[in-house]
Amino acid sequence: MAVLITATGLTACGDDGAPEQDANAALDIWIRKPPGSGSEKTAQAIAAGFTAATGTPAKVTALFEDFETKLQQAAAQKDLPDIVINDTAQLGTLVKQGLVREVDKTALAGGADLTPTSWDAATSADGKTFGVPFSAQSFALFIRKDWREKVGAELPKSWADLDALAKSFTTGDPDGNGKADTYGYVVPGSTKRGYTAWYLTSFLWSGGGDFLSGDAGNYTPAINTPQSVAVVDEFKKQFCTDKDVVPGAVTLETTQAHPLFETGKGGIYFTGPYNMARFDKSLGKDKYEVVALPAGPGGKAQSLAEGENVYLMAGSTNETGQQKFAEYAVSVAGQTIGMAGDSDGGIVRLPVNSTVQLASVRKDTRWATFEEVFKSSGRYTPAVPDWTPFRQSAAEALNGIVANCSSDTKTELDKLAKTFDEELTKQGVKG
C-alpha cells in the first residue's frame, strides 16, 4: 500500500524522507475495469501468476465509474494503491500531481523487448519515464454487415462512401421493420472524460486537421485551421443536416453507446477491439464487420493510438514488489494472460512485448486489422505535460458546436484555439 505522495507535501515515513520498505508487503492493484467483468478476472489471473512467480501477495480492485475521482480520494487519505493500471492519457495528470514515481526503463527486466512506440506512451513531456507500457490499441469501424447488404452498398472506401452508407442506414429501413428507427452513426459525444474530442480525434487527423502543431515543447494551436474547421463542419453536418447520428449522442458515454450498436439503433460505430467479443455474443459475429477508417480529405487515415500503462504509485512500502509486478505484466507470460485469447476478458488489446505474436494467442483474424492500423497509422496525442485540459476543453467546444446547429464553427474553434494558447503558456510548451 502506498502511503506517501512526495510532490503533494505529504509526510514521509522514514528518516530520509522515503517510506520504510518491506519487500514482503502485499501489493494493492487498482485497474479501471467494471467489477465482476471478465476483465477483472483476467487482472486477477495476472496477479495470481505474479504471486506464483515471485511469492509476493497481490490483491486486485476493479473500479470503473469515477475511477479518477476515487484515486484522488485515496491520495487525499494518504492511502494510494501500489499499482494502478490505467489509460496512457492519464500520464500527464498523474505526473503533475506527483502520484507516480519515475521508472528506470534500463533497469526493468524485459524492458528492451517492449516496442519503442509503447515506451513513447509512458514518457512525459520532459523525456522522463513515468510508467511501464502494458497494452496498446487502435480503433476501426464496426459496420452492420447485414444492414449494408440490405441497402445494397459496398464497403466504404472514402468518407463520401461512409456518409452515404450512414444516410442509407438512416433512411433505407435496413432492419426491415417498416419504421424510421435506425441511424447511421453511433457517437459517444458526452463531454465527460472528454469523450467528444476523444471520438473525433482520428477523424480530425485523417481530415488533415489537428489540435496542435509543432514539436514537443514548441506547440501552437491548430484546431482553427481551415482543415480542422472543415472536419468539424462535416461532424456537425452529420448531426444537424443529415441527422444520421443516433439521438441523444451529445450526452452518451461509451458504456451507453455500446448498446445502441448491438441493439440495432445505429449501424456504424468507430470503436476499439475490446468490443468484438461483446458484440459477437449480443449481436452475432456474422451481423457486423470490422474495417479500417478510409483515408480522409487529408489523403491519409490515422487512428488514435492508446493503451494502458502500469503506474508505480508514489509512496509504496514495497517498491521492489512494484517493479517486479511491472516486469511480470510485460513478460510473455503476463501479456499472454492479459490477452485472454479471444474471450471478452482481454485487458491487453495489442501486446507491447515485441516477442509476443498476436496470432499465436488470438485466432480471430479481425485482431489483425487493429494491429495493422496501429502499426501503419496509429498516433498518440501530443506530448504536452498534461493532455487532459486540452481534451476536456475541446470536448466542451465540439459538443457545443454539434448540439447547437446555429453555432458558427470557425468562431467557436477560434475561441478554443485561444484556450489552447493559454494552456500551452501555462504548461510552458508554447511555441
Q: Report DSSP letters for 367-393, one per residue.
A: HHHHHHHHHHHEEPPP--S--HHHHHH
How far is the C-alpha of 258 from the C-alpha of 360, rounded, in Å? 29
Do 78 and 34 reside in the same domain of the chain?
A: yes
The per-residue pLDDT for 8 is 40
* Local structure of residue 63 (DSSP, 8 states): E
* Beta bridge mates, 304: 379
pLDDT (mean) for 76-98? 94
Per-residue confidence (pLDDT) for residue 2, from 0 to 100: 62
Dig out the grid coordinates for 209 from the structure.
486537421
* pLDDT mean across residues, the chain: 94
Instruction: Compute φ and ψ for 210, nearest 5 degrees.
Output: -165, 165
Domain boundary among the residues 378, 401, 417 is at: 378
Residues 182 and 295 in one domain: yes
Predicted local confidence at residue 217, as pLDDT: 85
Question: Residue 294 falls within a domain, yes or no?
Answer: yes
- Statement: residue 13 has pLDDT above 80: no
Taking residues 3-26, what's their average pLDDT? 63
Q: Give the Cα separation of 123 and 155 in Å (integer).
A: 38
Alpha carbon distance 418, 342 (integer Å) = 45
Q: The domain containing residue 126 runs over which residues?
A: 6-137+305-378
Task: Tell me the pLDDT tens digit for each residue of 81-90.
Answer: 999 999 998 9
Which residues partner with 86 through β-bridges?
Answer: 309
Cα-only R_g, the chain: 22
Residue that is last in its domain, among 338, 357, 378: 378
Kindly provide the b/e burial profile for residues 245-272, where b requires at least 16 CB atoms within 10 angstroms of the residue's own CB. bbeebbebebeebbebbbebbbbbbbbb
Over residues 113-139, mean pLDDT: 94
Are 245 and 239 in contact by the 8 Å Cβ rule? The answer is yes
Q: Does residue 351 carry a pLDDT above 60?
A: yes
Indicate the helix (H) or strand (E) that contains 74: helix 67-76
pLDDT higher than threshold 90 for residue 216: no
Q: Are strands 218-221 and 140-144 parallel, antiparallel or unpaired?
A: unpaired
Q: What is the CATH number of the domain that holds 21?
A: 3.40.190.10
Is residue 117 located within the same domain as residue 77? Answer: yes
Q: Looking at the domain assignment, is residue 174 inside a domain?
A: yes
| 212 and 251 assigned to the same domain | yes
Q: What is the mean pLDDT of residues 391-417?
A: 98
| Total of domains in the chain | 2
Say how far apart CA 43 and CA 227 lie, in whole Å.
42
Residue 325 and residue 83 in contact, taking contact as beta carbons nearer than 8 Å: yes
Instruction: State the burial class of residue 422 (Cβ atoms within 10 Å of its Cβ: 0-12, 13-18, 19+).
Output: middle
For residue 219, count other CB atoms closer than 10 A to its CB. Answer: 24
Measured CA to CA, the distance from residue 327 to residue 251 in angstroms comes to 39
Which residue would you say has higher pLDDT here, 206 or 215?
206
Amino acid 18: pLDDT: 79
Q: Distance from CA of residue 60 to its chain's centroid?
A: 21
Evaluate whether residue 1 is within a structural domain. no
Q: What is the average per-residue pLDDT within 190-198? A: 96
- Give the confidence band of 19 by pLDDT, cuts at 50, 70, 90: confident
Q: 30 with 69, same domain?
A: yes
Q: Is residue 162 located within the same domain as residue 175?
A: yes
Q: Are residues 28 and 63 located together in one domain of the fold? A: yes
Q: Indicate whether 238 and 271 sit together in one domain.
A: yes
- C-alpha–C-alpha distance, residues 363 and 372, integer Å: 16
Q: Are residues 44 and 119 in the same domain?
A: yes
Band of residue 6 on the pLDDT scale cut at 50, 70, 90: very low
* Structure confidence at residue 299 (pLDDT): 86
342 lies in some domain: yes
Q: What's the confidence (pLDDT) of residue 118?
A: 92
Mean pLDDT on 361-380: 94
Instruction: Identify whether 423 is part of a domain.
Output: yes
CA–CA separation, 60 vs 102, rounded Å? 22
| Alpha-carbon separation of residue 119 from 103, 108, 115, 126, 358 (angstroms) | 11, 12, 7, 14, 19
Q: Are residues 344 and 274 in the same domain?
A: no
Does residue 3 surpass a pLDDT of 60?
A: no
Per-residue cell: 394: 475541446
Q: What percent of the chain has pLDDT over 90?
A: 92
Q: Which residues have a Cβ under 8 Å from the Cβ of 169 and sit 6 or more positions away?
A: 144, 147, 151, 182, 183, 184, 244, 266, 267, 268
Question: Is residue 358 situated within a structural domain?
Answer: yes
Asked whether residue 411 is assigned to any structural domain, the reply reads yes
Q: What is the pLDDT, as a whole number, of residue 283?
A: 97
One DSSP character per residue, 213-261 reads: EEETTEEEE-TTSHHHHHHHHHHHHHHHTS--BPTTGGG--HHHHHHHH
Distance of alpha carbon 426 from alpha carbon 183, whole angstroms: 42
Q: How far apart are CA 375 and CA 355, in angstroms?
A: 15
Query: What is the average pLDDT across 327-340?
Result: 98
Band the pLDDT of 14: cuts 50, 70, 90.
very low
pLDDT over 50 at 262, yes or no:
yes
Q: Is the domain of 88 the same as that of 236?
A: no
* Least confidently predicted of 4-8, 250-254, 270-274, 363-367: 4-8
Check whether residue 36 and residue 65 sit in a common domain: yes
**Average pLDDT of the segment spanning 45-50:** 98
Residue 265 within any structural domain of the chain = yes
> Please, what's the b/e burial string for 147-178 (b: 16 or more CB within 10 A of its CB; e: otherwise)?
bbebbebeebeebeebbebbbbbbbbbbbeee
Per-residue pLDDT tens over the stretch 225-239: 999 999 999 999 999
Average pLDDT over every residue of 338-359: 94
CA–CA separation, 342 and 408 (whole Å): 45
Mean pLDDT of 117-126: 91
Q: Considering the chain, what percentage of its residues have pLDDT values greater than 70?
A: 96
Confidence of residue 316 (pLDDT cuts 50, 70, 90): very high
- Which of 361, 378, 395 marks a domain boundary? 378
Question: What confidence score (pLDDT) does residue 4 get?
Answer: 46
